[in-house]
Amino acid sequence: MRVAEGPLPVDEYDVAVLGGGVNGTGVARDLSLRGLRVVLFERNDLAFGASGNSSGMIHGGVRYLSQSPKVTETSCRDSGYIQHIAPHLLFRLPFLMPVKSGAQGRIAFELIDAYFRAYDDYQPLKHGEPHCRLDANDLARLEPGLTGSIVGGITFDEWGIDGARLCTLNAIDAIEHGASVYVHTTVEQIARAEGQDDGGRYVVEARDRDTQERVRVRAHVVVNATGAWSPVTAHLGGLPQARVRVRPGKGIHVVLDRRLTNYGILSEAIDGRQIFLEPWQNVSILGTTDDDYYGDLDDVRATSEEVRYLVQGVARVFPSVRTARAIGTYAGVRPTLYAYGPNEDALSREHEIVDHTRDGAPGVYSMIGGKLASYRLFSQELSDQVARDDFGVAAPCTTHTRPLPGGESVPDAMALADKHGITPVAARRLVYRHGQRALHVLERVARRPREREITCVCEPVMEAEVRHVVRHELARTVDDVARRTRLGLGACGGMRCAARCGQIVAQERGLPPHQGQVMARDFVEKQAKTRVVAMGPEQARQEALALAHLDATLGVRP
Amino acid sequence: MSRGDVVVIGAGAAGTAAAIVAARAGARTTVVDGGTGASTLWTGAAHATDAVSAEARDVAVLLGVTVARSMLLPTSARPLVAHGHDAAILDLDPLISARAAIAVVGCDRPQWDAELVAKWDGQSLFPLEAAMLRHVDERALPDADFAARHDDPSRLGWLADRLREALARSERKPVALLLPPSLGVERSRAEELSKRVGVPCGEALGLPGGPPGLRFEAARNRALASAGIHTARGRVTRIEPSGGKWRVTLAANGDGGLEADAVVVAAGGLVGGGLEYQSSEWMLAAAMPPYSRAPFRCTIDGPLPLGSRGKPLELPGSLYGMAPESIAWPFASDPLMNRVGVPAASDGRVAQGLYVAGELVADLPRTWLDALESGIRAGVAAAREALSVTSPQSASASAASATRP
């Protein structure tokens, strides 16, 4: 497998993709599959921004049904495709929508019922179940934790996904089809190439943010898929920022330590916005906010105010979130299409391709807006345009039929657990994350039984998987490993595993052990920052212990 | 009324030190042990911010801790310079400076990678495989449970035999053996093992909650027993002046609790449970609280107001309490969470006959040896006060004036 290191300073590519989110990796994969030579630059890590900090759903866009049913239809169809190409990565996520009783409630109930009846028409596209209308008793039986006077409710079906893994898989597939992917590498300049020979029209200069090594490539086409960073990126190419305007919307999520429910539950926040509690992998997630955000995109964090807003809203229908243990928060910034005037929720979730020919930069495109669920379609639209207009390539898009790495088939986790002597839980999580490629990880285990060791107990993650993602999935730091494996994102906040993971990463990368400690400390500190805003008395004790732990394992403070 | 009763609340490093010196000074001393705290979770590395006193050295020895500048190697292989250490932990300081060969004993246990640990100093350290595990279950045992097995002399002998075999096989002859945290919980078995193997053996520094914490508990129990100090179990809920004495009430103890002429409160900080973080965050989604309140609380009811930097803890101007971002690490380099406590004089005196020690003291550096020193100072002062002949009236008047905020 070809990993990011390698290409010489002035490599020739057809397309340079900027941004390692779901759109960037999606485009890189699509164009690589069509036979074009692609290079991708990511300033931080794959899925560092909105893609890795989403609600973890590829929902069908039921919200858009009334204004733009087309969006709902395409979202649903694409959701079906994603299930086909990455069956291991999706899990069914049924939602409950309780309706408060009262005269208005009854009318609302009928309207909601009718609305979801219309949504049912789209469910088959994404292999979802039709909605169910439930009376108060049914609802109480399904979810006894619901409270308040409720006239009834409806269920509707969505799919959960790990957004960070989706990005990683797209990037891996692109690499396996000839692309070069540079992570932790920031683009510093995009310039017109001197002389119009056979080479690319543009020279992209980038710098590795760890090693300070410079990379320079020539490419015929440049795709700006940097999400909320898009205007910043456009500026590097001397393009007018006004052409790639986004309305950056910060969304935060609160992570609770376990699955509190088997269903997602919708609720209303104090300002009437719809928020939710969802069981997601091993945890529960409260989401989400939507607020204009103009701060540092590389360091977006939830505040205690935002945490309260969510917990308060959900507790009105599901009070036990009040006493649940919040183990952390995460935040991302949506690159929503720009509009002056509407409040954040009313902004369109549609996407748009900006062709910069008009700005005197033919072959430069910006991808603005979009959502996780429609990333593949968005990537396809852009790739179609690039392949046709810039390269005259007629190869059709295959990203909806060709499985993502590991998606070819889903092995039986229980059989693997037996065969390799690992716990069924570890096997299940491994298969969820890696699909058929779980076998690659287990091959390591078979060769070196020591690597069966569970590095992260909460998730759980085996040492072999940590080594695998460093070797084959472009992970460079403990934080990167966490994004790919969920190591350290469980109840312990990385306190039990960060140091060991740092050791392993340093070893795999041939770095001095000291570097591993620094990475581990950075990770634990970052996690503490996300956790502290949701802190209750137990967490406060835990933070105090975390400090002691840092002293002991990392020797950070005297 | 007879005088001379001292009650020490808390059986960690500070409380134990206070009790030992108070008993030595002749006070009838009782320790109230509230269960696991920071001292019983400690890793075995002791730090200090100042020169360590002779009394502290002396008490530390009783608690199984050697006070000396030392270099300890954590399982994560980044050496830690400390001012003292649990007796079972190997001090690399003299060995490394002499550039002597040290073997890191490899065994198949989680969080222990001898090759990796040895990489820290490739010249001096080298991995040495030895059979440390005798039963299959030992691979997965927690450090403390594994260490407990070496309390058995015959098992320790078995380990010594295996280590000697490994040494015989090894081409390099080390001057010391570094083992994973494993050498006993009743007491340190490092010296005994060293004798049997023929070279100094010791543990690497493990994680909080490992064998050193249990060894501390065992050493403490021995020290308290030999000093003739009574131990009561339970959590103290309240201390109050009563008839010239201090009344100490224990949770679920209806019949009056304890009475003392002087009390040393060493109930610990956030980890030990003496302090509780109590901003409105904890009730998250509850309706807005009716009044503002300080986010920290002393879990013992009594004249123990909180503060830091010489100022009392103020009410925040927010109904939700202080924003945790403003008081907790890693946002603040010197976070309030680490400083808050009961402001006290240098000997821990808060009121007549009332002293605080250890992590409960405001602005006291949160290190093991600083806690020990503060316990000694408070214990000496408390005993002196308890044994002095003062009029009960003045004691109760002074205490009443210092009653709760």
Q: How much of chain B is helix, strand and coil, in % rounded to 5? A: 35, 25, 45
How far is CA B264 from its chain centroid?
16
Q: Where is average pLDDT lowest: B269-278, B300-309, B355-364?
A: B269-278
**Residue B45 contacts A where some CB pair is shorter than 8 Å:** yes
Q: Categorize the per-residue pLDDT at A323 as very low, low, confident or very high, splitting at 50, 70 and 90.
A: confident
pLDDT at position B318, please?
80
How far A251 CA lies from chain B's nearest CA (Å)? 19
- Provide the ipTM: 0.83
Q: What is the mean pLDDT of residues A332-346?
A: 90
Tell me what percent of chain A is helix, strand and coil, each rounded to the nearest 5: 45, 25, 35
CB contact under 8 A, B328 and A543: yes
CB pairs below 8 Å between A and B: how many?
A: 139
Q: Is B323 on the interface with A (CB under 8 A)?
A: yes
Note whether B78 contacts A514, CB cutoff 8 Å. yes
Q: Is B66 on the interface with A (CB under 8 A)?
A: no
Record the tokens describing residue B69, joined without a space.
Answer: 């500048």
Residue A452 per-residue DSSP state: G
DSSP classification of residue B100 = -
Q: What is the pLDDT of residues A372-417, one digit of tens each?
A: 989 999 999 999 999 999 999 999 999 999 999 999 999 999 999 9
In chain B, which residues have their Cβ closer than 8 Å to the Cβ of A545? Answer: 41, 208, 271
For A183, what's the count of Cα atoms within 13 Å in the CB-facing half-sphere?
Answer: 24
Query: From edge to edge, which strands make up the β-sheet containing B236-242?
Result: B236-242, B245-250, B258-260
* Under 8 Å between Cβ of A61 and A204: no
Residue B226: burial class (beta carbons within 10 Å; 0-12, 13-18, 19+): exposed
Q: What is the pLDDT of residue A512?
A: 86
Show the beta-strand stretches assigned E in B111-265: 125-129, 176-179, 201-203, 230-233, 236-242, 245-250, 258-260, 262-265
Confidence of residue B75 (pLDDT cuts 50, 70, 90): confident
Whether B404 has a pLDDT exceeding 60, the answer reads no
The pLDDT assigned to B399 comes to 47
Closest CA to B222 of B176, B187, B250: B187
Model confidence at B285, pLDDT cuts 50, 70, 90, reads: very low
Contact indicator for B389, B297 with CB cutoff of 8 Å: no
pLDDT digits (tens, 9 = 90+) for A492-545: 888 888 988 998 999 999 998 888 888 998 999 899 999 999 888 888 888 888
Hey, are the CB atoms on A507 and B116 less than 8 Å from each other? yes
User: What is the spatial distance between Cα A71 and Cα A349, in angstroms, rounded to a whole number?
Assistant: 9
Number of neighbouring beta carbons within 10 Å of residue A396: 11
Closest residue in B to A543 (Cα) is B329
pLDDT range class, residue A6, cuts 50, 70, 90: very low
**Please, which residues 46-65 of chain B have a Cβ atom closer than 8 Å to chain A?**
47
Is the pLDDT score of A7 beyond 60?
A: no
The 10s digit of each residue's pLDDT in A100-124 is 888 888 899 999 999 999 999 999 9
CA distance A395 to A384: 9
pLDDT in tens, A410-425: 999 999 999 999 999 9
Contacts of A321 in chain B (CB under 8 A): 284-285
Handedness of CA A168, A169, A172, A177 (dihedral sign): negative
Instruction: Tell me the two tokens of residue B187.
Output: 């007491």
Q: Which two tokens stand for residue A175?
A: 């690499």
For the segment A166-178, the average pLDDT, to the nearest whole number, is 98
Q: Is the pLDDT of residue A71 over 90?
A: no
**Cα A7 to Cα A215: distance, rounded to the nearest angstrom:** 8
Please give the residue of chain B at the shortest CA–CA distance from A303.
B325
From chain B, pick out residues whose CB is under 8 angstroms from the CB of A549: 207-208
Contact flag B281-A532 (C-beta cutoff 8 Å): no
B403 confidence band (pLDDT: 50, 70, 90): very low
Confirm or reject contact between B122 and chain A (CB < 8 A). Answer: no
What is the rounded distance in angstroms from the CA atom of residue B337 to the CA atom of residue B335? 5
Note if the bond before B330 is cis, omega within 30 degrees.
yes
Please tell me whether residue B51 adopts helix, strand or coil conformation: coil
Q: Give the gap in angstroms from C-alpha B369 to the nearest C-alpha of chain A.
A: 13
User: Is B98 or B44 the better-scoring residue by pLDDT?
Assistant: B44
Please identify among residues 2-41 of chain B the ones whose CB lies closer than 8 Å to any CB of chain A: 38, 41
The mean of the pLDDT values for chain B is 90
Does the pLDDT at position B252 exceed 80?
no
- Contact yes or no for B211/B170 (Cβ under 8 A): no
Contacts of A192 by beta carbon, 8 Å cutoff, 6+ apart: A201, A202, A203
The shortest CB-CB distance from B324 to any of A450, A535, A554 is to A535
**Minimum Cα–Cα distance from B38: chain A residue:** A545
Contact between residue B183 and residue B161 where contact means Cβ atoms under 8 Å apart: no
Strand partners, B354: B263, B351
Looking at per-residue pLDDT, the higher value among A379 and B73 belongs to A379
Residue B47's closest chain A neighbor by CA? A558
- Which residue from B minimizes the CA distance to A301? B325
| Side-chain-side CA neighbours of residue A356 (13 Å) | 24
Find, among A240, A204, A233, A207, the residue nearest to A220 by Cα.
Answer: A204
Bridge partners for B8 per DSSP = B31, B264
Query: Contact A553/B76, CB-based, under 8 Å?
Result: yes
Q: Which residues of A touch B284 (CB under 8 A)?
A: 307-308, 311-312, 315, 321-322, 326, 534, 536
The half-sphere exposure of A555 on its side-chain side, counting CA atoms within 13 A, is 20
Angle, in degrees to the nearest 10, between helices A478-485 and A463-472: 110
The total of other beta-carbon atoms located within 10 Å of residue B71's CB is 17
| pLDDT at position A557 over 80 | no
Which pLDDT does position B288 carry in this prediction? 62
At residue A3, does pLDDT exceed 60? no
pLDDT digits (tens, 9 = 90+) for A275-313: 999 999 999 999 999 999 999 999 999 999 899 899 989
> Residue B396 has what pLDDT?
47
Pick the residue with more confidence: B1 or A488? Answer: A488
By mean pLDDT, which of A17-21, A324-328, A554-558 is the weakest?
A: A554-558
pLDDT of A4 over the 90 cut: no
Q: Is pLDDT larger for residue B256 or for residue A338?
A: A338
Joined together, the tokens standing for residue A375 give 């990333």
Q: Phi and psi (nearest 5°) for A23?
A: -70, -45
Cβ distance A547 to B325 less than 8 Å, yes or no, reads no
pLDDT tops 70 at residue B142: yes
Contact A410, A88 (CB under 8 A): yes
CA atoms within 13 A on the CB side of A190: 29
Q: Which residues lie below 8 Å from residue A420, measured CB to CB, with a gap of 6+?
A: A427, A442, A445, A446, A452
- Tens-place pLDDT, residues A474-487: 999 999 999 999 99
Test A533 with B324 for CB contact under 8 angstroms: yes
**CB–CB contact B329 A547 (8 Å):** yes
Q: In chain B, what residues touch A537 (CB-CB under 8 Å)?
A: 276-278, 282
Interface check for B125 against chain A (CB to CB < 8 A): the answer is no
The residue among B104, B61, B103, B68 whose CA lies nearest residue B84 is: B68
Q: Which chain A residues have a beta carbon less than 8 Å from that of B110?
A: 453-454
- Continuous H helices in A92-239: 103-120, 136-142, 163-176, 230-236
What is the rounded end-to-end Cα distance, in angstroms, of chain B? Answer: 30
Q: What is the DSSP string of A271-310?
A: TS-EEEEEEETTEEEEE---EE--S-TTS----HHHHHHH
End-to-end Cα separation, chain A, in angstroms: 43
Cross-chain CB nearest to A315 (options B110, B273, B285): B285
Q: Which positions in chain A touch B77 (Cβ < 8 Å)? A: 503, 513
* Cis amide bond preceding A460, omega within 30: yes
CA angle in degrees (0–180, nearest 5) for B40-B46-B48: 130
| Closest CB to B284 among A311, A453, A552 | A311
Closest residue in B to A312 (Cα–Cα)? B285
Structure tokens at B385: 């006060």
**Concatenated DSSP letters of B241-291:** EETTEEEEEETT--S--EEESEEEE---STTTTSEEE--GGGGTTSPPPSS
The mean pLDDT value of chain A amounts to 91
Whether B116 and A500 lie within 8 Å, measured CB to CB:
no
CB contact under 8 A, B113 and A454: no
Question: Which strands, in side-by-side order, build the sheet including B201-203?
Answer: B125-129, B102-106, B176-179, B201-203
User: Residue range B321-349: average pLDDT?
Assistant: 90
Q: What is the pLDDT of residues B365-384, one digit of tens each?
A: 989 999 999 999 999 999 99
Contact list in B for residue A461 (CB cut-off 8 A) is none
Top residue of A527, A543, A549, A554 to mutate, by most chain B CBs within 10 Å, is A543
Question: DSSP character for A257?
Answer: S
**C-alpha distances in angstroms, A80 versus A58, A155, B154, B236?**
10, 19, 65, 61
Strand, coil or helix: A153 = strand
- The average pLDDT across A95-101 equals 93
- How far is it between the farthest Cα atoms of chain B? 76
- What pLDDT sits at residue A2? 34
Instruction: Quote the CA–CA distance of B333 and B317 in Å, as a whole number.
Output: 23
Q: What is the pLDDT of residue A196?
A: 57
B110: contact with A, CB 8 A cutoff: yes
Strand duo B349-351 + B354-356: pairing = antiparallel
Residue B108 Cα, gap to closest chain A Cα (Å): 8
B336 in contact with A, Cβ within 8 Å? no
Which residue among B38, B282, B329 places its CB closest to the CB of A528? B329
Q: Which of B205, B270, B284 minimises the CB distance to A541?
A: B270
Identify all chain B residues contacting A312, using CB atoms and an 8 Å cutoff.
284-285
Inter-chain contact A549–B208, Cβ cutoff 8 Å? yes
CA atoms of A497 and A516, how far apart (whole Å): 12
Please report the pLDDT score of residue A517 as a whole number.
86
Cross-chain residue pair A552–B331, CB shorter than 8 Å: no
